[in-house]
Structure 1
Amino acid sequence: MSDNYRSREERKQAEKAKQEQKKQKSEKPRKKGSFFKKFLITCLLLGIIVLGAGVSTFYAMIKDAPKIDEAKLADPVSTKFYDKDGGFIHEYGVERRTPITYDQIPKVLEDAFLSTEDARFYEHHGIDIKRTAKAIFENLTNGFGSQGGSTITQQVIKNSFLSRDKNLKRKVQEWYLAYKLEQKYSKHEILEMYLNKINLGNYSWGIAAAAKNYYGIEVKDLKNLTLPQAAMLAGLPQLPNAYNPSKPENEKEATKRRNLVLTLMHRQGAITEKEMKEAMQVPVREGVREPAQNPMPYQAFLDAVAKEVEGQLKDVNIGTDGLKIYTTLDPKAQAYAEQLAESGDGFRYPNDQFQTAFVFQDTKTGEVRAIASGRKENKGSFRGNNYAIDLDRQPGSTFKPILAYGPAIEHLKWATSHTVEDKETKYDTGAEISNWDNKYHGIITIRKALEQSYNIPALLTMREVGKPKAKVFAENLGITFANNTVFESYVIGANQVSPIEMSGAYSAFGNNGVYIKPHFVTKVVFPDGKEVNFKPKEKRAMADYTAYIITDMLRSVVKTGTGTNANVSRLDVAGKTGTTNFDKDTIRKYGYPADATNDSWFVGYTPQYTMSVWTGYAKNGQGMYLNKETSRIAQYIFKNMMSKFGTDTSPFEQPSTVYRFGNELGVTGGEKVVLPKEKPDTPTGVNAQYDTASNTISLKWSYTASEEMKDVSFDVAYSLDGGSKTTLTNTKSTSITLGNVKAGGRYTFFITATANGKVSDEAKITVTVTTGSKPEEKPSPPDNGDGTNQSTPPNTGTPPSTGTETGTPPGSSNPGEAKPPAQSPLGIP
C-alpha cells in the first residue's frame, strides 16, 4: 500500500475527497449565453405556434367568404315591393341612378373623394396597412367597430358582398376580398364602381345622380363642378341625410363637413391654401336645388320592411340586389293611417308639434297592415325616423295586464271577482305610490281596479304572483327589459317600450293566448327564384283562460271605465288606457300644470285587428304637454281606425276552461267566483224604546260589515205623523236618542248603511205615543250615543207619559197589530 492511514475513518474520508476531485474534473464549464439561446428558441416556437394558429383562424374566417360576383359589381338591380295581395307598390334602387365611366369623372371630384376616403388609394393593394394599424389600435382602446379604416376598395366589397355587421370575421373577409378585387380590376375600374354605387342622400345613388339632384348638373357637364361643390359631394357618404345641403336645417353641419374635406384636400396637396380658403367662403347652399321629391309611397311602412329584411338576411342590399319583397301592407289602411296622423278625422290636434305613432295589425296572424310614424316635421320617412318601431316611451297603465293581472290569472287562477285592498302602500324601495285620483278605495275587485286604472291594486297583484313569474309572462309577449331587470314601478309602466311591442303583446290576449311577433314581410324572392319565408313561429304565451279573462276585463275598460272614448258599439272591443306624468323638476322648469301628462296610450283589439297608439311630444318645451282633453286623442285615433276597417263583428269566443257567474268570470278548477255586493247589507235588529221619565225615544240596530264594505256609516231620518222625511244624522254609531217627542205623535224611523259610495236598502220602524199629555215642546236634537247632538227635528207636542206602538217591519201580514207597551223590542228582518 502506498498510502498509510491512521484509521479506517481516515481512509474513507480520503477516498471521498478523490471522488469529489474526479467529479469536478469530469464536469464541463457552462457556455456563456445558453439561457438566452433557450429563450430565443422558446419564443421562436411560440411564434410559430401563434402564427400557425393565426393562419388557421384566418382561413377559417375566409372559407365561407362570398365569391366576387361580377353581376353584383356591375350596375345594381332594383328591388320591388308588393302589398298583402301581391299588388305592386314601388320599385326601389335605380330610379335616380346614372352610371358613368372613369373618363367622365372630373379631376377635382376624384381628388375630393380620395383625399377624404382613401388618400393612398393608388399606392396600396386593397388594404392600407398604415391606416388599418391605426384603426386596430383605436378598436383595441375604444372597442371593436369604433374605427373602420376602410379603403375605397374595401368599401366596394362591403357595399357589394358583405353585411353591415361590425365584427372581426366580416372585417377579415373584407380585407381578403379587397385584395382579390385589386388583383382582378384596375384602380380606375374600382373607383368607377365606388362612385357609381355610393349613397349620397337626397335619393341619389352614384355621383352622377347626386350632381344632378343637388346642383342640376347633367353627366355631360360634370366637368363644370366647382371645388366647393365637389368637396360637398365628397363629404356626404359618411352621413348622407345629416349633411344633405338641400335641407336648410343641415346648413351648419354641412358647412363643417365640406370645410373638413377642403382641409384634407389641401393637406394632401390637391389644392392650394388660397383655393381652400376661397372655397370655404362660398355658402354651402349656394347653387343647391330644392330637395328631390321621392315618389316612394308609404315611406314609414317600407322603412320598417327594409329594416326587417336586412335584419334577417344579413348579406343583402335591398337597393341593389333585385329582390321581390312581399309585404303585409293594406294600402287603403296605410293611406288612411297617414291622413289620420297628419290632420285627424273628427278631432283636431292641438298644434304641429303634437306627435303620434301607431301600429295596426291583424290579431290572428301578426301581420302589420298599417303604421303611422310621427307628424309634420317628425313624419316618418324611408331610412329616417320611425316612431312606430323605434320609439322608446313609458307605456303607463297599459302595462298592468302584462305585469300584474295576466300573470295572476295565469299562475294563481284568480277570478275577476278576486279582491285586493286598495290602501296606503309603498314600493319596495320606500318610494310612494298613489292612485290617479289620490284616493284609496278599500276592498276592490281586480275587474274594477283595472277598469278604473288604479295603481295600488296592480302593484299588490304583482307582489302576489311575484316579479320572476311576472317578468317571464311579459317576455313571452315579446317585451324586453333593460339590464334584464324588472322593478316594481314597471307594473304601472315605468319602463320603455315601442308601439309595435305593445301591439304584439296585446294581440296575444286577442289570439287565445298565442303570441305571433308583429311583422311587415311575408316572403322575399331572389332573382334566381329562391324564396325566404318570413312568417314568424307561433308561441303559446299563456293559457286560453288567461287570454279570455283579461279580454273580458278589458271590455269593461272601454264600456264603463277609462277607455269609453275608444269603444265601437258594433265591435267586440277590449283595450286599456295609459298615461305618464312629468317629474317635479320638469314641471317646474317648463311651467307645466301639476296634472300635465307626458305620454298617452291606448292599446286595444278586436277578434280581427289589434292597435297600439302613442301620443305625446318628441321633446319637452313650452306648452308641450298633454291635458285631460288631448290625452283622449289616442282613443279617438283607435276608434277611427277600428270603425273604418273593422268588419268582423263576431265576439271573442269563451273557452271551456272559463265559466261565467253573473258578470264575473272564473277559471275551471281555480278560484271560485264570488259575486261582489252591489250595495251594503241592510241594518238589522232595529229596536225602539220610549222612556217616560226623559220623554225620549232610543233607537238601536245591529250591523256586521263585510270584507268589501268595511268603512260603513249610517244615515238616520224620521217622519212625524206620515209627513215628509227629516234627516236626523249621519253616524258610525249603531244607536241614537231623540228627545222631547210629541205626545200622541207617530214616529217612523228610516236607517240606511253607506259604504264605498253605495247605499243599502232602508230599515224602518214606527213608534206611536198614545197616552199622556203635556204642553207642546220643541224636541231636543238626537243624541248619537256618544254625548253629541246631530240635528234638530221639527216642534213636537206634549210627550206621552206611558205606552208605545210600533209599525210592522217589511213582510208583516198584520200592519196594524198592537204591541206590548213600554220596553218591547221591535225587529226588522
Structure 2
Amino acid sequence: MSWVKKLLILCLILFLSGLLTIAGLYLYVKKDLPDVTTLQDVRLQTPMQVFTADGELISQFGEKRRIPLTLEQMPPLLIEAFLAVEDTRFYEHPGIDIIGILRAVTVIASSGDFSQGASTITQQLARNFFLSREKKIMRKIKEVFLAFHIEQLLSKDKILELYLNKIELGQRSFGVGAAAQVYFGKTVDQLSLDEIAIIAGLPKAPSALNPVRSPANARARRNIVLYRMLDVGAIDKAAYDAAIQAPVVSRLHGAQITASAPYIAEMVRQEMVNRFGEELAYSAGLRVITTINSQQQATAKHSLQQNLYEYDERHGYRGPVDTLWQATLKPDVTEQPDYDQPDRLDTEQIIAYLDQQKGLEDLVPAVVTQVNSQTVQVILSGGTEATIEWEGLKWARSFITDRRQGNAPKTADAILAPGMHILVRQHQKQWRLSQIPEATSAIVAIDPHDGAVRSLVGGFSFSQSQFNRVTQAKRQVGSNIKPFIYSAALANGYTLASIMNDAPIHQWDDNAGIAWRPKNSPAVYDGPIRIREALAKSKNVVSIRLLRGVGIDKTIEHLQRFGFAASDLPRNETLALGSASLTPMEVVTGFAVFANGGYLVKPYLIDSIIDAEQNTIYQHQAAIACDDCEDFAAKTPELAPELNSEAQMQQLFNRLSHDQTTEAELDAASLPSQQPEVAQRVLDKQNSFLVADALTTSVWGGGDWRAGTGWNGTAWRLQTLKRRDVSAKTGTTNDSKDTWFSGFTADLAVTVWVGFDDANRSLGRALWHANMGQSQSAGTESGARTALPGWLDYMQQILPSLPSKAPTPPVGLASVRIDLNSGLLSRKTDTSSSFEYFISGTEPTQYSGNDVQPISFDSNSPPVDKDIELF
C-alpha cells in the first residue's frame, strides 16, 4: 500500500501547490483587477432618442445601438437559445465551468482543435465590461478571478440580464433588443424560432456570422444553435424541423422612426451636444421629449412638398434624369408611336440599373419602356411595372426659363421616349411624372400661448439639404412686415378708420440722382382709403405714408418689440415694403404677438429630458402669455414665484377669485414647486386686437357684392376654411424672389416661405396652360399664389382640431358705426357704413357730411346711442 500512500501525498502536494499557485496568481493580479461592484449600478451605453410630444420616435443618435431590456421582457426561448449554445450549466457553476474546461482540454489534446471554447457567460460578461479581447494567458486568468467576484456580487438572473444587454452582435448592435431591431426590424417578443437561433449564434463571430453579410454562415451557425436547443430539451423535434427549413431573410433596419422630422432631430441633436457634450449626449440613454405634434408635423411636411410640386409643375418639365438608350420615333407612325431602339436594355438590365439609383422623399426612379398616345409604361425601382396615365403626364410642358414655358403637350411622345430614366410619384393613388423641385420652402407652426413649436420643416428634403431655412435663412419679408408697420401707426395716433391717400409716390433721391417710385402690386390705386382696407389689400404706398407719419426711428423701435433685431431693419423707407431680412421663425414669433394679445413668447422645441432611469432631469418652463395670470401675479406677488404653467396659474386664480379664498388660507404644499415665468408684454391688448381683427379683413374683404361695392383682401382664398377667427397676411418681394404667407388663430401661428436658395433667382411667372385650365391659370408668383396654398393645405387639416374662438374686444375699445368713405361717424345702416373698433379716445367725433353736431365721450361713460358700444 506504500505506493497508494505516496500517490495520495503527491496528490495532496499537487492540490496544495495548485491552491498556492492560484493564491499567488490572485495576489499578483489583484491590484490590476477592476472593481466589479460597479456592475451594481452599471449604465449601459444607450443612444439618445428624440420623441414627439405624443410619443412618436423622431430619431436616434449614438454610435452603439442598444435597447435595454429586463430579463422578464425577453422571451424564454431566446434565453434558452443563448444558454444552450453558450453556457448550458450557467445556473449550476460558480462562474467557471470545470466540466467545460476539461471537455475543451480533451478536444485540444485529441485533435489539436482550439475552437472549442470554455468561457462561461459570467466570464464573457467580465471580458465585455472590464477586459480586452487579446488572446493572452494573463487576460484569461484575470477573467476567471473577475467571474468569481461577479458571481459573489450579483444573482444569476442579473448576470444573464447584463450579458444579454451588453453582448456585441454585429452592425453596431449591442444586446438582443438592438439585434432584433437591426436584423429583422422586430422587437424580441416578435422573433420566430429560427430568428432567435440566428441571434443566439452571433456572439461567436458577429461579423462573419451575421445574416446580412453572410447568410450561408448565419444558416450554418443557426442550425448548430437549433441542434443544441433540441439536445438540451429547449425545443421539440417538430419545432426543430420547421426552424431548420426556414430561409435566412434579413436586411438592415434603422431605428423604428414613426415621425418624420429630420430638421427637428438635427436641432435637438445640436442642442443636446451643446448641453451635455457628445459622449454623454450619444451614450447616456437620454430621451428627449419635444413639443412637436406628430400629426401636425406629418401634415406640414406633406403640405410643403405638395405645394412645391405644384409650383414646379406650373413652370414646366426640365427633362429626364438620364437616357439609357436612344429611341427614334419612326416617321410613318400617325396614331400609335413606334420607335427604333437598337440599344435597348432588357428587363433584367433595367432592374439592375434601377437598383443602383436613389429616389428622394416620395420620388421613385423609373425607366420608360413604352410610350403610347397618352400613356407611358415604366419599370419602377424594385422591378414593378406601372402605367402613367395622361392625367399624370399632361402638365409636363417644357421648361424654358422661370418666366417662360413651352406649349401644352397633346401626346405622351411629346414628353417622353423609351429609354429615359425619370422620377415618378404617387398622387391620388395614381402614378405621376415628377421631378425634384428646384425651388424650396419652409413652414413653422408655434403655439402663441407659450412658443412651443408644433411643426417645423426646413426644406423639401433633409437628405437633399441639411440647411434649415426656418431658423437659418434670413430672407426679405415683403408685405409680411406691414402688420407691424400698421401696429406702429396705431400706437402713434392712427386708427383703422384713418384715411390715407393711395396714390403713386414720386420722390427725388439726391444721392442716387433718380426718383424713387414705389408701386402697389398690382399697380392699382384707390385714392383715399381707410387703413383697414389698405392693410387687407396690402397697399404699398399707404404703408410708406404711414412710416413717414410715424417716423423711421419710432417705427424701428416699435418693430423691435416683436423680437426683430435692429440690425435686420433698414433705416429707410424701403422698410415699409419689407426690405428687412428675417427668418421664418422670427416672422412667426412676431405674428404670435398679435395672436396672444400682446406677449412676446420665445419659441422652444425641447419640452423635457428623461434619463436612462426614467428620471426627468430637465423640464422646460415656458414664459407664457396669460392675461389673467399676469393680473393675478401683480395682485399677489408673493405667490407668483410658485406658479409654473398657465394651467396652474389659472387654477390658483380661479381658486382665489371664485372660492373667495385668502392667501393665508392657501395650503403651501399644494403649490407647484417650479418657478413661473410670464411672457413679456410688448404690445397693449387694444393694439394687438385691432391688428388681428384687421387681418381677418385680408381674408373676408369688405363692402357688399350685391350692391357692387364688394372687394377682396389678398388672403381671400382662405374663405374656404369657413373660419372667422383666422387672421392672415401675404408677402412678396421685388421680382418675386421671396414669397410669404403668415396667419394665426388664437391657438396656432403659422408661417410659410417659398423661394430659391439662390436669393438672386426669381420665382418667375407661369403662362396659361391649356391642359390644366383654371387649376393653373397664368400669373406672376406671389405670396397669395405661391406660399398661401401650402399654408391653406396645412390649416385645412389642422383647424378642425382647434375650436373656433371669436376674439373678445378688450377693455378700452369702442365700436362705432362709421361712414366707409370718410371714416367719420354715420347714422346710416346701409352698405355705406359699418362698425369699426377704436381705442377709446381715438373715435371720430364728427358725422360724415358735418350735418350733425360733434359728440364726445370717454370709456367710463355709457354709449350715447345704439351705434356706439364701449368695451
Q: Smaller-chain TM-score range?
A: 0.3 to 0.5
Q: TM-score, normalised by structure 1?
A: 0.44
* Greater relative contact order, per chain length (Cα 8 Å cut-off, separation 6+): 2
- Tell which structure's C-alpha radius of gyration is larger: 1
TM-score after normalising by structure 2: 0.42
